[in-house]
């Protein structure tokens, strides 16, 4: 049916995936709530001028439309971080700092990414506005790890990066004529095209302890000493059973971060399952993370135990309520012709007992 086709990059989530999506959002939000992060709900769309005013939101990645009420151009959010910053500044500017906020909801991108074809995705995360200290960064990363683990993610790897390291070095001991070109070559890991003075940055990428050692040997003037000491202090506050790496030149998607960025990976999914870092929300330092729900759904997480009990015609409301109180999903027959198999039930109420349905 042509009329039923969806635009490229959009899809329906059916049971049990839609249930898993809602469950994953709730698990992660409940986990970060335990760290003091309170949920806010920004609108799906805003005036374009407002949506692009803060942080890193680029008009190039926004789906726009004209608001019939005001005649102004509106846009659907492609990322929720900037909206949280706006709320912290405008609606909660009176709130003592730091302010801890969490969020969850869909975002829409104008074009799909290279690794995933979706243009609509579920984003969930937390932002700490008003601090970017070692303690603040460690708290955010720990909250992200805790939330993902409670969602069932295993084998986590944390990849740290230093988004502004080139700007720091280029205006200091290692000046270059074209900083943008240097960044592009470092992004491509093109060692042959990178000036010899900067090549050690590419070679330093690897396990965090070894990478810091190589960077200290490279940093003969001590310009990175404070930065590296802070990274070491953060790592000391993180779980010891996760793999932590450091890539000082990785910048893709971290252009608006300040002194530290990070990505989270798991063998359960292709590509990132979360990212975050430090940034400035206006003049305020801040740190946050976003988790990407769709790869986790595709990995089969949070599907839940589908205990569906078929209740034949005549089952009393009191009996049905008791089974629901005991954790069952009850599916009541509405006619004598209804069957447990048609309703995809796992059990049927027979002689007052939940009897498993044999699979063919």
Last-in-domain residue among 255, 287, 319 = 287
> CATH number, domain at 83?
3.30.930.10
Residue 159 falls within a domain, yes or no?
no
Give the range of the structural domain holding residue 345, as residue numbers without chain letter: 308-356
β-pairing verdict for 45-47 and 38-39: unpaired
Residue 328 falls within a domain, yes or no?
yes
Residue 199 falls within a domain, yes or no?
no
Residue showing tokens 């955010």: 140
Q: Which residue in 45, 42, 127 sits closest to 87, CA to CA?
A: 42
Specify the DSSP class assigned to residue 106. Answer: E
Residue 41 falls within a domain, yes or no?
yes
Strand segments (E) across the chain: 38-39, 45-47, 63-66, 73-76, 99-108, 120-129, 157-161, 206-207, 243-247, 261-265, 274-281, 284-292, 308-311, 329-332, 347-350, 353-356
Q: Phi and psi for 232 in degrees, rounded to 5?
A: -60, -40
Last-in-domain residue among 232, 252, 287 = 287
Residue 110 falls within a domain, yes or no?
yes
What pLDDT tens digit does each residue of the chain (360 aa) get?
455 689 999 999 998 899 999 999 999 999 999 999 999 999 999 999 888 886 555 667 899 999 999 999 999 999 999 999 999 999 999 999 999 999 999 999 988 877 678 899 999 999 999 999 999 999 999 999 999 999 999 999 999 999 999 888 887 777 888 888 888 888 888 888 888 888 899 999 999 999 999 999 999 889 999 999 999 999 999 999 999 999 998 887 777 899 999 999 999 998 899 999 999 998 999 999 999 999 999 999 988 777 899 999 999 999 999 999 999 999 999 999 999 999 989 999 999 999 999 876
What is the structure's pLDDT at 128?
98
Beta carbons within 10 angstroms of residue 193's beta carbon: 12
Q: How many residues does the chain have?
A: 360
Residue 125 falls within a domain, yes or no?
yes
Q: Give the DSSP H or E segment for 210.
A: helix 208-218
Residue 201 falls within a domain, yes or no?
no
β-pairing verdict for 308-311 and 329-332: parallel
CA distances from residue 118 to 107, 133, 239 in whole angstroms, order as listed: 10, 35, 32
Residue 158 falls within a domain, yes or no?
no
Looking at the structure of the chain, the number of domains it has is 2
Q: Which residue in 238, 281, 232 sits closest to 257, CA to CA?
A: 281
């Amino acid at each position: 049916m042509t009329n039923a086709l969806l635009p490229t990059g959009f899809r329906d989530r059916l049971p049990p995936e839609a249930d898993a999506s809602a469950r994953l959002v709730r698990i992660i939000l409940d986990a970060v709530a335990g760290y003091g992060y309170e949920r806010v709900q920004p609108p799906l769309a805003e005036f374009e001028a407002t949506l692009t005013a803060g942080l890193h939101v680029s008009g190039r990645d926004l789906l726009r439309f004209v608001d019939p009420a005001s005649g102004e151009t509106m846009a659907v959010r492609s990322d929720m971080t900037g909206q949280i910053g706006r709320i912290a500044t405008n609606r909660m500017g009176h709130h003592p700092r730091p302010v801890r906020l969490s969020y969850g909801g869909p975002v829409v991108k104008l074009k799909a990414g290279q690794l995933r074809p979706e243009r609509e995705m579920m984003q969930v995360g937390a932002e700490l506005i008003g601090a970017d200290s070692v303690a603040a960064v460690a708290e955010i990363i720990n909250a992200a790890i805790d939330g993902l683990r409670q969602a069932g993610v295993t084998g986590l790897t944390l990849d740290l990066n230093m988004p502004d390291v080139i700007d720091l070095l280029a205006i200091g001991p290692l000046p270059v004529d074209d900083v943008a070109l240097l960044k592009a070559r470092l992004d491509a890991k093109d060692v042959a095209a990178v000036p010899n003075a900067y090549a050690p940055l590419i070679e330093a990428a690897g396990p965090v302890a070894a990478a810091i050692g190589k960077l200290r040997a490279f940093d003969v003037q001590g310009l990175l000493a404070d930065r590296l000491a802070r990274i070491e202090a953060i790592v000391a506050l993180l779980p010891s059973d996760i793999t932590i790496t450091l890539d000082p030149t990785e910048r893709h998607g971290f252009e608006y971060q300040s002194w530290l960025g990070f990505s989270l990976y798991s063998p359960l999914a292709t590509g990132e399952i979360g990212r975050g870092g430090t940034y400035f929300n206006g003049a305020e330092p801040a740190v946050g993370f976003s988790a990407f729900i769709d790869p986790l759904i595709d990995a089969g997480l949070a599907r839940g135990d589908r205990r569906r009990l078929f209740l034949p015609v005549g089952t009393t409301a009191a009996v049905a309520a008791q089974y629901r109180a005991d954790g069952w999903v009850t599916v009541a027959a509405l006619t004598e012709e209804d069957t447990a198999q048609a309703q995809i039930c796992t059990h049927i109420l027979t002689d007052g007992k939940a009897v498993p349905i044999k699979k063919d």
